[in-house]
Amino acid sequence: MRGIMLRALPVCVAAFATGCFLTNSSVGPATSHNTPTHAYWHEVGAVLTEKSTGNDMKDLLPFIRNQTEKLRTLSTDGVDPALVAAVADLVKCEDEVLRRADMAGEDPSVMRSNKEVAAAFAEANRLAFESKKRLAAMRDSLNDRLGGGFGPINVGGTGGGGGARRGHF
């Protein structure tokens, strides 16, 4: 009897494990990744991964305006309030970058010749980049609270990352 049991045990364990994996049974609540918060996160991520066609002020400022306007027009109905607030903060910071650039007449030579204007612009840019990093860092808390489905948002790179804008004007 013991011999039969010992030979049957691995088969039973394998069948049990296979059944668990094939039926996709899981411990914990089943969640849908089709919520307004998930859709909003993915739309924000798509906007932020767009790249500027150039690295100079002439190309970057219209790009930032366009990107900010896209973020402003996304529907926030039913979206997690913390996520909406983080995107609103990013839009506010990017608006400040644009305001500082407007104060310099969108002229890089003014930035180079006036240290105060350049410092204010650099600070606005730094704050916008920090806002993007805080937004991207929300991923883990959203995944924990809403059951996953929130992929990473890349905040680096030309244009939408802020880091590439710093020091180019």
Instruction: Please give the residue range of the domain that contains residue 88.
Output: 55-144
Look at residue 161 and tell me if it is in a domain.
Answer: no
Give me the numbers of helices (H) and strands (E) for the chain, helices first please. Answer: 6, 0
Number of domains in the chain: 1
On whether the pTM is more than 0.85, the answer is: no
Looking at residues 40-45, what average pLDDT do you find?
Answer: 97
Is residue 73 situated within a structural domain? yes
Domain membership flag for residue 20? no
* Mean pLDDT to the nearest integer, 12-39: 57
Task: Check if the beta carbon of residue 31 is closer than 8 Å to that of residue 148.
Answer: yes
Q: Does residue 63 lie in a domain region?
A: yes
pLDDT in tens, 107-151: 888 888 999 999 999 999 999 999 999 999 999 999 999 999 999
pLDDT at 151 (0 to 100): 94
Domain membership of residue 39 (yes or no) is no
Please indicate, yes or no, if residue 1 is contained in any of the structural domains.
Answer: no
Whether the predicted pLDDT of 166 surpasses 70: no
Reported confidence tier of residue 10, pLDDT bands at 50, 70, 90: low
Instruction: Indicate the residue type of 126.
Output: R
Q: Are 39 and 150 within 8 A, CB to CB?
A: no
**Tokens at residue 121, please?**
């612009």
Domain-embedded: residue 169: no
pLDDT digits 0-9 by tens, 47-101:
999 988 888 888 899 999 999 999 999 999 999 999 999 999 999 999 999 999 9
Residue 7 falls inside a structural domain:
no
Residue 30 banded pLDDT, cuts 50, 70, 90: very low
